[in-house]
Amino acid sequence: MLHQLPGWQISLSRSRFSSVKTPFDVIIIGAGASGLVCAAEAARRRRSTLLLDHGDKAAAKVLLSGGGKCNFTNYNIAAENYISGNPHFCKSALSRYTQWDFIGALDEGGIQWEERNHGQLFASGSAREIQEMLLNKARTAGAELKTGVKISSVGQMSEGGFLVSTSRGDFSADSLVIAAGGLSLSDVGAGPFGYRIAEQFGIPVTPLSPGLVPLTLHKEDKQRFAPLAGIAVDAEVSAGGMSFRENLLFTHRGLSGPVILQISNYWHPGEELVINLLPEITLETILEKAKSETPKSLVRGLLSRYLPKRLAAALLPAELTERSIKSLNPSHLQILENAVHRLSLKPNGTEGYRTAEVTRGGVSLDSLSSKTFETRTVPGLYFIGEVLDVTGWLGGYNLQWAWSSGWCAGQFV
């Protein structure tokens, strides 16, 4: 359960706050990816716009994203790349502000970018160029940015609009946009603020959990795979009716790598992962060939041609790896098949928000317009970005959601 913000008042009057500074048309809380795009658009429409952030710098996560190179979007953006209580909700925004629009903005700003695997687009230089472009766009459009601002309360005023009380005084606005992001990486300003505001206004929040996150293993499996820490293999991993094929990395705590981050969005506690460690070729083909060409060779030697030696040793009993190919009986073949193509592991959890890239779940989409991002029950209150119940795959999808939702709300605030 989330707790109420201290100092919360649902109905306030501007006259009660002698320190209220010039009223704004729009206040945006959260100067991250979605907030900055929304601010630039709102200000471009000549709406006086104030952007508040409690962090020391804006777009801190953009700076860290993509290992400092910002995987800012993907060539292949579709609603299917997002997990959400309402899979149709994201379609409208993604089609009104697309990956091509963001690419166009980078080209206009002279920022070089490059394509990597799976249509992922990264800055060729550094994420800082993208952060600076976002800041410049918001500033040149006329938005005012204040960082290092602690927000103590947010309320609706009796005469309409919102009052935001902060460590730098009170500010009022007709429209209030919550762009406070999710829970991952509290060191760079993440926290439950957005969810709390939703709850304060009676807007439901779906269950939250870490997404795009490494998974941890039970003690026994951890001991079994610990010697493999640092080893990466190409694997296909399935859970929750989805499969991904990319690199799997064994860690001291369990499993990581892109394929695990992807599947973590679909995995739920108590469920099993089914791992195909040899997705490129079937074991049957390999064994048949070996049976006719080198029947006396050992299973160990054969597997080491396709899998790291240490992995084969962790997967199979020594009694089996030391057997010759020609001595394998049907039950041996079944054990081999299950270990290599259908390894079943039940993670005991995730590494949590400390290492997660995103928060799965969020502000319920039933309460919002997919066109404007305004809440249905509180006129003038908007939610955008990761705080919403929209979680993208790994590969630039989450930032594209931030850009798209921010841009769309910016047309209406």
Q: Does 106 bind ligand FAD (CB under 6 A)?
A: no
Nearer to ligand FAD, 95 or 152 (CB): 152
Which one of residues 27, 106, 179, 255 is an interface residue with ligand FAD (CB under 6 A)? 179
**What gap in Å lies between CA 13 and CA 11, rounded to an integer?**
7
Closest approach of ligand FAD to the CB of residue 61, in Å = 4
Which one of residues 155, 181, 210, 347 is an interface residue with ligand FAD (CB under 6 A)? 181
Site for ligand FAD in 336-375 (CB under 6 A): 357-358
Residue bearing tokens 């089609």 = 95
Contact 51, 39 (CB under 8 A): yes
Closest approach of ligand FAD to the CB of residue 32, in Å = 2
Q: Does 178 bind ligand FAD (CB under 6 A)?
A: no
Which one of residues 382, 398, 409, 410 is an interface residue with ligand FAD (CB under 6 A)? 398
**What gap in Å lies between CA 74 and CA 53, rounded to an integer?**
28
Site for ligand FAD in 298-337 (CB under 6 A): none
**What gap in Å lies between CA 287 and CA 233, rounded to an integer?**
20
**What gap in Å lies between CA 404 and CA 370, rounded to an integer?**
11
Nearer to ligand FAD, 225 or 401 (CB): 401
Nearer to ligand FAD, 77 or 286 (CB): 77
Which one of residues 113, 171, 193, 195 is an interface residue with ligand FAD (CB under 6 A)? 193
Q: Does 29 bind ligand FAD (CB under 6 A)?
A: yes
**What gap in Å lies between CA 209 and CA 259, rounded to an integer?**
18
Three-state secondary-structure class, residue 200: helix
Site for ligand FAD in 69-88 (CB under 6 A): 70-71
DSSP, residue by residue, 113-141:
EEE-GGGEEEESS-HHHHHHHHHHHHHHH
Contact 29, 151 (CB under 8 A): yes
Q: Does 399 bind ligand FAD (CB under 6 A)?
A: yes
Q: Does 199 bind ligand FAD (CB under 6 A)?
A: no
State which H helix or E strand residue 103 sits in. Answer: helix 99-108
Nearer to ligand FAD, 90 or 278 (CB): 90
CA 320, distance to chain mean position in Å, is 41
Stretch that binds ligand FAD, among 61-69, 81-89, 137-145, 306-314 (CB under 6 A): 61-69
**What gap in Å lies between CA 355 and CA 373, rounded to an integer?**
29
Which one of residues 201, 397, 407, 412 is an interface residue with ligand FAD (CB under 6 A)? 397
Which one of residues 60, 83, 105, 111 is an interface residue with ligand FAD (CB under 6 A)? 60
Q: Does 166 bind ligand FAD (CB under 6 A)?
A: no
DSSP, residue by residue, 313-350:
HHHS-HHHHTSBGGG--HHHHHHHHHHHH-EEE---EE
Which one of residues 142, 191, 279, 308 is an interface residue with ligand FAD (CB under 6 A)? 191
Closest approach of ligand FAD to the CB of residue 396, in Å = 5
Strands 358-360 and 209-211: antiparallel
Which one of residues 20, 39, 50, 53 is an interface residue with ligand FAD (CB under 6 A)? 53
Which residues are CB-contacts of 82 (< 8 A; sequence separation ≥ 6)? 90, 390, 391, 392, 393, 397, 401
Residues 228-267, one symbol each (x = binds ligand FAD by CB under 6 A, - = not), give ----------------------------------------
DSSP, residue by residue, 232-274:
EEEEEEEETTEEEEEEEEE-SSEEESHHHHHHHTT--TTPPEE
Closest approach of ligand FAD to the CB of residue 232, in Å = 19
**What gap in Å lies between CA 399 and CA 404, rounded to an integer?**
9
Closest approach of ligand FAD to the CB of residue 206, in Å = 16
Nearer to ligand FAD, 30 or 361 (CB): 30
Nearer to ligand FAD, 60 or 290 (CB): 60
Which one of residues 90, 314, 402, 408 is an interface residue with ligand FAD (CB under 6 A)? 402
Contact 57, 147 (CB under 8 A): yes
Residues of the shown chain interacting with ligand FAD in the complex, contacts defined by CB under 6 A: 29-35, 52-55, 60-61, 64-66, 70-71, 151, 179-181, 184-185, 189-191, 193, 357-358, 385-387, 396-399, 402
